[in-house]
């Protein structure tokens, strides 16, 4: 804990001690500022063809950042983030289609519902002391249950899903713009920057420090008076809310959501993989991971469309992109357990 | 029969003192509940009896299939504590292996299965020995979950690259069906059911009657203790994973005749196999058998009342309840 502790009685000399200055938070916000500027100019330098990749990468990043809150900092390995992503996506679709409510409000309501559901699930699991592998299995089972439930509920259109009504013009309030509009990048980018700012503040706040202490040694943390259950549930709630926001934006961007796109097991996997590749339990790791995983599919696609001679046999073959990031995942877990960003950071410090 | 009973064989009086019948109350209750529910459905279920018979037969046979897939998983999960998320992908792999052996070498499908078993055993041995052992030994369960997840994606997509996504079928399988009480049971599914029983029996014998089985049980009960008395824990882990994979190979070979093969064919089994393994109790071969049949029955008989995938919701509800209130499973004993 390098962070200065707020203690008003501290002498002036101690407060001025450079070792107690909170440089970490400041540096993180400087980095975030640079990132915000890069994302703001991104639509101007990016070919319109790459817009969808940028948006997909941003959604990946949001999910990975959210997953990392609960599973990286909180140490609760979730294998069912599809549940919360799906709740966000479906609440948005349902309210927009059936009641014509603004997606912004639907997004908030979806986040609230996902938070409640997430906290309820996590409470059950923690109350009955499911840890590690069992916790992962339980979250996975809940996500599957939601998938099956949605597939069988008439008012959620069963397996057909929702198509959003397409408005005539552009509307910020209804979150609809012409295709290729820069706002489709700016909005998730802004959400991501806000989310990262939230993560930075949270990680350096008391609940954030507490949850990391609980993750590292629950018994020791409890003996120091930390409410283990509450700190964990705070991390879970934040994570679920952010995941739901990502889901709502997904629905808005693709104008469609079905059970598999929202609640499928691959959604949970898509939240985990960028975070693991980038670095679990770091602020920037999930972002780094998303920047690698997001564009990979398109990159491989464009390579394979006109392959160099030595991999000519791969022309037109499907599945290579996932195979590559699956191999990357295995290699990273085995040889760089802190992820790419985490490992680089450690090297840097030495 | 499973993890804790194995431990009990080292300290025979500790568990026996707790109570003989007490220990079997829940398994017996479950075993008794299944026929009672079936009788109720027949008498007051308000459904055509022929239909019910057919779904019971289908459910039993489907349960056998589930059990066959789960037996390998329960061994891996029970002994190594590894959530083998690649289990379904390995099932796909062995099915495609059988497909390849039958279509290029012209082997009959059940002979191809016999060939596939040692190949998959070697595959599992290499996977555990080469990739997972370090994580297993250090107790990093999330790490091994992630590696097997990666492996699952890798296998599925490499199969997709080689064979493409179009459904394939294994040629030259056994046609025909057996009629029982007006219900139809195809020979292929009956053979799969018999195969499940055989594998369960063989595995139980290996675990309980051979010295290698004793090593596995010892490592499962206490890996440090086993290492102290000279068991090569790493090799036992690798061989256990290998045997688990060999069970998957048998499952793949017996399932291939009546499933259409796509690279994702095994995925749906992964989830159900976990449900069954947790339900039956970690490492319990008998539990996997019973759990498989119960889940198969719940799915098909439940489908009479909840059409479509609705019956699967029941399955997951059962799963979550077992996970929360009795994580050691029906055939497990309280730790």
A141:B160 CB<8 A: no
Q: What is the pLDDT of residues A171-197, one digit of tens each?
A: 888 778 877 788 888 999 999 999 999
A323:B157 CB<8 A: yes
Question: Measured between CA atoms, how close is B72 to chain A, in angstroms?
Answer: 18
Backbone angles phi, psi at B171, to 5 degrees: -80, 160
pLDDT on residue B274: 87
B150:A327 CB<8 A: yes
pLDDT on residue B5: 40
pLDDT on residue A19: 65
A329:B153 CB<8 A: yes
State whether residue A79 sits within 8 Å of chain B by CB. Answer: yes
| Interface probe, candidates A268, A323, A335, A339, chain B, greatest B C-beta count within 10 A | A323
A144:B316 CB<8 A: yes
Instruction: Return d(Cα B98, Cα B115) in angstroms, integer.
Output: 8
Domains, chain B? 3-10+25-38+54-164+173-325 (1.10.3470)
**Chain A residue at shortest CA distance from B154:** A323
pLDDT on residue B318: 81
B320:A145 CB<8 A: yes
pLDDT on residue B11: 39
Question: Measured between CA atoms, how close is B313 to chain A, in angstroms?
Answer: 6
State whether residue A269 sits within 8 Å of chain B by CB. Answer: yes
Write out chain A in H/E/C secondary structure: CCCCCCCCCCCHHHHHCHHHCCHHHHHHHHHHHHHHHHHHHHHHHCCHHHHHHHHHHHHHHHHHHHHHHHHHHCCCCCCCCHHHHHHHHHHHHHHHHHHCCCHHHHHHHHHHHHHHHHHHHHHHHHHCCCCHHHHHHHHHHHHHHHHHHHHHCHHHCHHHCEECCCCCCCECCCCECCCCCCHHHHHHHHHHHHHHHHHHHHHCCHHHHHHHHHHHCHHHHHHCCCCHHHHHHHHHHHHHHHHHHHHHHHHHHHCEECHHHHHCHHHHHHHHHHHHHHCCCCCCHHHHHHHHHHHHHHHHHHHHHCCCHHHHHHCCCCCHHHHHHHHHHHHHHHHCCCHHHHHHHHHHHC
For chain A, which residues score pLDDT lower than 50? 1-2, 10
pLDDT on residue B119: 94
| Interface probe, candidates A72, A296, A330, A331, chain B, greatest B C-beta count within 10 A | A330
B327:A130 CB<8 A: yes
pLDDT on residue B188: 82
| Interface probe, candidates A144, A316, A331, A336, chain B, greatest B C-beta count within 10 A | A144
pLDDT on residue B244: 92
A319:B161 CB<8 A: yes
Task: Find chain A residues with C-beta within 8 A of B143's C-beta.
Answer: 333-334, 337
pLDDT on residue B9: 39
pLDDT on residue A66: 96
Instruction: Pick the closest to residue B284 from B326, B239, B231 (CA basis).
Output: B326
pLDDT on residue B13: 39
Residues of B with CB under 8 A from a CB of A: 81, 83, 131, 134-135, 140-143, 145-147, 149-154, 156-158, 160-161, 164-165, 263, 267, 271, 274-275, 278, 306, 308-310, 312-313, 316-317, 319-320, 323-325, 327
B154:A327 CB<8 A: yes
pLDDT on residue A180: 75
User: Does this complex have an ipTM over 0.90?
Assistant: no
A152:B320 CB<8 A: no
pLDDT on residue A257: 92
Question: Measured between CA atoms, how close is B147 to chain A, in angstroms?
Answer: 5
A134:B317 CB<8 A: no
What is the signed CA dihedral for B84, B89, B94, B97, rounded to 10 degrees?
Answer: -140
Question: Measured between CA atoms, how close is A69 to chain B, in angstroms?
Answer: 16
Give buried/exposed letters for A161-187 (b at 16+ CB in 10 A, else e). Answer: bbebeeeeeeeeebbbbeeeebbbbeb
Task: Find chain A residues with C-beta within 8 A of B86's C-beta.
Answer: none
**Tens-digit pLDDT string for chain B (335 aa):** 344 444 433 333 344 444 455 666 677 777 777 778 877 777 776 777 777 888 888 888 888 888 988 998 988 888 888 888 899 999 999 999 999 998 888 888 888 889 999 999 999 999 998 888 888 877 777 888 889 999 999 999 999 988 887 888 887 666 777 777 777 778 888 888 888 889 889 988 988 889 888 888 888 888 888 888 888 888 999 999 999 999 999 999 888 888 888 888 888 888 888 888 888 887 788 888 888 988 888 888 888 877 767 778 888 888 888 888 877 777 765 43
Q: What is the pLDDT of residues A68-116, one digit of tens each?
A: 999 999 999 999 999 999 999 999 999 999 998 899 999 999 999 999 9
């Amino acid at each position: 804990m390098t962070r200065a502790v707020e203690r008003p009685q501290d002498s002036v000399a101690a407060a001025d001690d450079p070792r107690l200055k909170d440089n970490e938070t400041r540096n993180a916000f400087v980095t975030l500022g640079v990132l915000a500027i890069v994302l703001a100019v991104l639509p101007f330098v990016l070919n319109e063809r790459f817009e969808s990749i940028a948006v997909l990468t941003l959604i990946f990043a949001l999910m990975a950042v959210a997953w990392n809150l609960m599973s990286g900092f909180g140490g609760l390995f979730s294998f069912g983030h599809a549940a919360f992503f799906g709740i966000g996506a479906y609440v948005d679709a349902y309210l927009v289609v059936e009641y014509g409510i603004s997606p912004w409000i639907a997004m908030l309501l979806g986040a609230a519902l996902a938070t409640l559901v997430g906290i309820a699930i996590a409470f059950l699991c923690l109350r009955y002391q499911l840890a590690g592998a069992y916790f992962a299995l339980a979250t996975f089972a809940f996500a599957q249950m939601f998938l099956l439930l949605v597939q069988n509920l008439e008012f959620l259109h069963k397996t057909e899903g929702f198509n959003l009504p397409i408005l005539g013009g552009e509307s910020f309030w209804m979150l609809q713009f012409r295709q290729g509009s820069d706002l489709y990048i700016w909005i998730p980018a802004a959400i991501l920057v806000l989310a990262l700012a939230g993560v930075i503040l949270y990680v350096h706040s008391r609940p954030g420090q507490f949850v990391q202490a609980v993750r590292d040694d629950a018994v020791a943390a409890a003996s120091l008076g930390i409410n283990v259950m509450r700190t964990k549930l705070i991390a879970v709630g934040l994570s679920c809310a952010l995941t739901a926001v990502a889901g709502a934006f997904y629905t808005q961007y693709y104008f469609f959501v079905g059970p598999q796109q929202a609640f499928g097991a691959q959604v949970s996997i898509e939240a985990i993989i960028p975070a693991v590749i980038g670095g679990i339990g770091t602020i920037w790791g999930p972002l780094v991971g998303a920047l690698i995983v997001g564009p990979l599919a398109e990159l491989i696609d464009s390579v394979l469309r006109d392959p160099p001679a030595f991999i000519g046999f791969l022309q037109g073959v499907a599945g290579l992109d996932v195979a590559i990031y699956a191999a990357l995942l295995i290699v990273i877990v085995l040889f760089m357990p802190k992820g790419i960003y985490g490992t680089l950071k450690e090297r840097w410090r030495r | 029969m499973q993890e804790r009973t194995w431990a009990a064989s080292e300290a025979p009086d500790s568990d026996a003192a707790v109570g003989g019948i007490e220990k079997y109350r829940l398994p017996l209750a479950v075993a008794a509940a299944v026929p009672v529910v079936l009788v109720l459905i027949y008498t007051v279920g308000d459904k055509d009896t022929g239909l019910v018979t057919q779904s019971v037969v289908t459910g039993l046979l489907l349960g056998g299939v589930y059990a066959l897939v789960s037996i390998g998983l329960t061994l891996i999960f029970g002994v190594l504590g590894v959530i083998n998320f690649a289990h379904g992908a390995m099932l796909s792999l062995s099915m495609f292996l059988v497909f390849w052996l039958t279509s290029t070498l012209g082997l009959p499908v059940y002979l191809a299965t016999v060939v596939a078993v040692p190949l998959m055993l070697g595959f599992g041995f290499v996977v555990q020995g080469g990739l997972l052992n370090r994580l297993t030994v250090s107790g990093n369960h999330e790490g091994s979950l992630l590696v097997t997840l990666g492996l699952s994606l890798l296998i599925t997509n490499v199969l997709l690259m080689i064979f493409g996504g179009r459904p394939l079928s294994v040629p030259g399988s056994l046609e025909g069906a057996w009629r029982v009480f007006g219900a139809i049971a195809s020979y292929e599914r009956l053979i799969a059911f018999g195969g499940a029983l055989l594998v369960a029996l063989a595995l139980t014998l290996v675990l309980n009657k051979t010295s290698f089985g004793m090593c596995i049980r010892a490592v499962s009960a206490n890996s440090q203790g086993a290492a102290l008395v000279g068991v090569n824990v790493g090799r036992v882990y690798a061989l256990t994973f290998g045997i688990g994979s060999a069970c998957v190979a048998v499952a793949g070979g017996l399932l291939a005749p009546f499933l259409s093969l796509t690279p994702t064919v095994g995925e749906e089994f992964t989830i159900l196999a976990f449900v069954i393994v947790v339900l039956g109790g970690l490492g319990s071969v008998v539990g996997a058998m019973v759990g498989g049949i119960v889940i198969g029955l719940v799915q098909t008989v439940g489908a009479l009342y909840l059409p479509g995938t609705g019956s699967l919701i029941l399955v997951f509800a059962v799963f979550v309840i077992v996970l929360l209130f009795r994580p050691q499973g029906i055939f497990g004993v309280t730790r």
